Amino acid sequence: MMIMNDLGGRCGKTRKQQFREINEWLGHFQLRLSKDQLTLIFTFLNELMVWNKKVNLTGLGSKNRIIHELLLDSLLTGVVMPEEGRFLDIGSGAGFPAVPLKILKPSLTTHLVEPRKKRVRFLRHVIRILALKHITVIEGRIQDQSGVLNRSGYDVITFRALGPVPQMIAYGEPYLKDEGVMVIFRGGRPDSGGKEDKGIPPGDVLSIQKTIPYSLPGKPIHRELFILKKRQ
């Protein structure tokens, strides 16, 4: 499904209008946030904007760009998220997709792996401010977490571009449950994997369950979520 509109493209929108437009976009994928969830989302975004003035957490300088280019497709991952279970986000950066997904699916036990100290500090701060429960930030690289994370313990694993896609799949797969899914964001950004990102290689353990094509508001560039499922 290819969806494009003018969400938040004009200045001076009220919070109520922004809430409505986010839910209108999400509605195309049968997703919806409550008013309380949207309030938490905007508290998170406000904290991100404050920190971003002092610490470079994301190269996007405006809230509208963050909503359009990071928040919406983070929430789109909710189409494959269970209501309960265990969720691992590899390379969480400024909190996308993990923090919005935790707000969307509050009963998920959530682990964020992030190697950069300044981002770890921000993530722990925003989790405290939002009073999120059953969510833990683990400082370090995914390849160094074999003694910390639960092997074969996660229902869903997500990652954005951290390196070649086959390598990231290899790092994440041991932590995925049988029948669990791995979500890969593809396209639309210069750091999204380049040539390695042209196709998701088939494997003996993981297979492509489906792809979700979409466009973000005001962005003609084609994007896709790749959903890989682990065989028993």
Domains of the chain: 15-230 (3.40.50.150)
**Is residue 13's pLDDT more than 90?**
no
Q: What's residue 12's pLDDT?
A: 61
Mean pLDDT (the chain) is 87
String of DSSP letters for 55-120: S-S-S--SHHHHIIIIIHHHHHGGGG--SSEEEEEES-TTTTTHHHHHHHSTTEEEEEEE--HHHH
Q: Which percentage of the chain shows pLDDT scores above 90?
A: 64
pLDDT band for 161, please (50, 70, 90 cuts): low
